[in-house]
Structure 1
Amino acid sequence: MAKESPAKPFYSVLILALVCSMLVAGAAVGLRPRQETNRKFDQKKNILRAAGLYHGQGGQAEVEKLFQAVETKIIRLSDGSVVKPAEIEPATFNQLKAAFNPETGRALTKEEDQAGLGRRENYSLVYLVKKNDRLDKVILPVRGKGLWSTMYGYVALANDLATINGITFYQHGETPGLGGEIENETWQAGWAGKKIHNLQGEPVLRVVKGKSSGEESRYQIDGISGATLTMNGVSNMMSFWFGDHGFKPFLERYKNRGDLDG
């Protein structure tokens, strides 16, 4: 009887491991289209929620129907101008990938990088809702570092491009029950009606400890107890995205115009 090679069990385990890894890789590739579909659905849902157009009733078909009222455009962050679809197609533009591409993004200096991003894209998606052919709301994507994670959300502005209409956070890794309460709809409702800039045009929207009174209450949101560092991250995010290196050039360019043509 032939003696079994001591290497045989090793090769058996190796072959089994290779087969399993191939199965896992194949499953991951197969799931990728569904994951992308779910990601886009979640983003659309939160854009609509920020704009006050979706309140949780209905599934994907309802969200897709409501999203037909939303017009997607791309702007240059440097001057706020609208980019023609022939130059960059909104449906295929990946904003996060653009930030890390040397041709479509740039590194932020320490002084510029209030939101802790490292890099910023040169172009951004914006979402428009019109009423009677006039601009009614603009929804802007925002992101920034919290305590444990990068927080992603959308801020909807009224047609004056100066007043918060609504806000959502749809992806983060903050502490459940503390910083994770940025997803709490009751807390998010407290943002409605807040102003993003003071009379000097400075971004002053921020989260504070306790309720504000007087003039400051126009710009300040009562924070979440026990989540100071996450709240600081939210404030820094707003300062960045509504400042000179974020959406401020866009907002100043189109404020009170009623459209985004030209």
Structure 2
Amino acid sequence: MNTNSNSYTIVYASVMVVIVAFLLAFVSSVLKPTQDKNVELDKKRQILAALNIRDLQTANEVENKYDEVVIADMVVKADGSCVKTGKEKDEDGFKVDNKDINSGCLPVYVCKINGSTKYVVPMSGRGLWGGLWGYMAVNDDFRTVFGAYFSHESETAGLGSPIAEQKFQDQFKGKQIFTDSATSQVALTVVKKGQVKDDTYEVDGLTGATLTTKGAAAMVNSGLQQYVGFFNASKK
């Protein structure tokens, strides 16, 4: 075959594309189990962070602590009824992706910290440039925040990005989710920097990041609101 011909160039390029595609697919399939495990590990680390457990260095430490404190990963409906008990951990609520959360599929992580039961719920929203997500741990009175963890996809460094920092997240500790005994409407929110009027249920926002602050407020409010039925049903 004439190696200088167009047909040779086309055949050669086609063969190379097929070989490269095959190699990429093979490498991807080989690495997928490891990638999936890393994703699961990071999720467990985030749930533990919401429980104020953050200083874990190794994968084994994360796995062991998670197994110790997380009792079940339930799935409930918005009315509080149980869909899956989550007793076999990592098989029910843990497998629910944020995009699949809806009124009929709400993951709840039941945890024990120093003998006290905590309930961790996931939430997601949108900031200035991309997605926001996180977890909030609630005490067994179903109205007081025990801890929180948030992260972001692509918020501006130094402005919206501090939503992922412990300093911002620690503000949620001890905040009240509701303002009244009816517990029907979530009051907990994030307000513009320096405009906290009632620190019972308001958290100071991020300096120079108005849209990220608003996104965080919407995420927290809507994220908790979908669990109000579960909170109220669990107190009975």
Q: 1:156 and 2:149 equivalent?
A: no
1:83 is matched with which residue?
83
1:190 to 165, 171, 194: 171
Quote the offset at 1:123 in angstroms. Answer: 1.3
Amino acid at match of 1:222: D
Amino acid at match of 2:118: K
**Pairing 1:10-49 to 2, within 5 Å after superposition:** 10-49=10-49
Does 2:187 align with 1:208?
no
How far does the alpha carbon of each residue in 1:174-227 deviate from its partner, in whole angstroms, 9 at most, with x for none?
22222111111111111111111110432111111234566x211111111111
1:60 aligns with 2:43: no
Q: What are the equivalent positions in structure 2 for 1:91-240 lying under 5 Å apart?
A: 91-93=90-92, 94-96=95-97, 99=100, 120=102, 122-130=104-112, 135-199=116-180, 200-201=182-183, 202-211=185-194, 216-240=198-222
Which of the residues 240, 248, 261 maps onto 2:228? 248
- Give the aligned residue type for 1:142: M
Bigger share in helix: 2
Q: Summarize deviations over 1:76-102 as a string: whole Å, max 9, x none.
A: 22311223459x976334323872xxx
The alpha-carbon deviation at position 16 of structure 1 amounts to 0.8
Identity %: 29
Q: Which amino acid aligns with 1:34?
A: T
Query: Contact 1:98–1:122 at 8 Å: present in 2 too?
Result: no
Q: SS of the counterpart of 1:7? A: helix
Q: Cα offset for 1:170?
A: 3.8
Which consecutive residues of structure 2, in runs of 5 or more, have no partner in the other structure? none
User: How many Å separate the matches in 1 of 2:135 and 2:56?
Assistant: 19
- Could you list the per-position Cα deviations for residues 87-123 of structure 1 after superposition, in whole angstroms to 9, with x for gaps in the alignment? x976334323872xxxxx7xxxxxxxxxxxxxx3621
Q: Could you tell me which residue of structure 2 aligns to residue 110 of structure 1?
A: none
The verdict on how the C-alpha distance between 1:97 and 1:121 changes in structure 2, with shifts beyond 3 A counting, is: farther
RMSD over aligned CA atoms reads 2.6
Aligned pair count reads 231
Q: TM-score, normalized by length of structure 2?
A: 0.87
Higher alpha-carbon deviation: 204-213 or 187-196: 204-213
The alignment partner of 1:92 has SS state of coil
* Residues 173 and 77 (structure 1), Cα distance of their counterparts in 2 relative to 1, 3 Å cut: farther
C-alpha distance in structure 1 between counterparts of 2:2 and 2:61, whole Å:
69
Secondary structure in 2 matching 1:190: helix
User: CA deviation digits over 1:211-251, x for unaligned, max 9?
Assistant: 4566x2111111111111111111111221222xx100001
Q: Secondary structure at the match of 1:217?
A: coil
State the AA in 2 paired with 1:61: N
CA contact (8 A) 1:73 1:83 kept: no
Cα 1:2–1:59 change in 2 (3 A) is closer
Aligned-partner Cα distance in 2 for 1:2–1:130: 73
What TM-score do the two structures reach when normalised by structure 1? Answer: 0.79
